[in-house]
Structure 1
Amino acid sequence: MSRLATRFAQLKSQQRKALVSYVMAGDPQPQVTVPLLHQMVDAGVDVIELGLPFSDPMADGPVIALAAERALAGGTNTLDVLQMVKRFREQDQQTPIVLMGYLNPLEVIGYQQFVAAAHDSGVDGLIIVDLPPEEAGSLDQILQQYQMDQVFLLAPTSTDERIAYVAERARGFIYYVSLKGVTGAASLDTAEAAARIEKIKALTDLPIGVGFGIRDAASAKAMGQVADAVIVGSALVKPFAECSIDQAVDQTVQKVKELRAALDE
């Protein structure tokens, strides 16, 4: 079993929900990321979603877009992120890591070279926001060679046909975008998300993770009642725009503890 499948199976057997945390690799400085990941795992994170810094992050709101700018300004590139994963794996061989980013850097590096390097580093899967499943076949073939998962996204606007198409092809988990907007948006309709998740679950046994708009313990708890995982990003990234590095790390770890406690209630 993959690390993702193993982790979700463990949580299901414990009747617990997964906390998936987003971290922008290299934000605000490259040396911050790996120690931060370990601290977040210690605080209760089950799956790490590690952002690949990119200059044109079209699905991201201002918080994560600015984090990408800080990471790029600090010198972090896509291959540097893989080295961060490799260093993380020196101490942690259990926590799944999924890279989230955009297609352009992979095109520049080359699918085969990138996936091989990601696998060697200890990456478990990819979320490529601007690669629709209809066009993902060539990358997916390579990922399957390395037993890595390609995680696809569904949204409130996804048709029944699209839901069925994604349910048939996704691996690892399905990422349900809970609102029409970018990361960090404020509006979150729990009832609508619950109805959509029920429809997705009728077509797949994969875990369903909900992201975009989950920002605090209350929203995490509400989504945890209907989904298998909650995915939190902007709320964990925001302190690095507002505080010193040490303060930001402390605030982020504390936020993780609050989210974990809410999910476990």
Structure 2
Amino acid sequence: MGRLKLDIVGISEVRWQEEQDFWSGDYRVINTKSNRGNAGVCLIMNRKIGMRVSYYKQHSECIIVAKIDTKHIPTTAVQVYMPTSSADDEEIEEMYEEIKDIIQIVKGDENLIVMGDWNSAVGKGREGNVVGDYGLGLRNERGSRLVEFCTEHNLIIGNTWFKNHERRLYTWKNPGDTKRYQIDYIMVRQRFRNQVLNFKTFPGADVDSDHNLLVITCGLKLKKLQKGVNLRRWHLDKLKEPEVVQSLRESIREN
């Protein structure tokens, strides 16, 4: 991260056994618990980003959310690890429902970046305002579902919109390096697409993985740090409790 000057990195398949939020030197690490031993996601942030996290939630073992204080509106980063092709359609749809719930909480005028390993191929070829001209390979069924989801929520699949050498497009290679695929994506809201300055992979970066590091360059400015402000955690799970829901309804009626 230091050598490539990366501010925040999202990682899939972390596989750690407990939720954590800790500092390692100048880097803040927030990860989910991997219940099945082969999942788990993580956000690693340098100090200037880590100090500006106003809220985070380990939403599930495959989804983590962090809100960062940026000018002039906050930025919400979501890291996702979508199940592999061996998962059934029901599990895939449950994941999309979880991501949908998160997107609906983020206000429409706030910046949203959704990234991760989607285990989907959207393929080469323009698709409206969602997929650009620089995808890779052929679209599969899971790729069609991802495009449908992005269309529904006004997201663009950012790394299909920038012309790069094919070496800078693929994000995963199968064992033996006989085939290369683009299955990792970063999405942003269409209304904020102008923040994206560049997109490309770094196949030479040693990340100890069969995936390539996919990097988005954004023109975002950070807010000044406010001393003495405690991190707020939102206990959204309480909204499932009937007593809390009833109390909230009564409060809304009174106001």
- TM-score w.r.t. the length of structure 2 is 0.35
Q: Which of 1 and 2 has greater Rg?
A: 2
More strand by share: 2
More helix by share: 1
- TM-score w.r.t. the length of structure 1 is 0.34
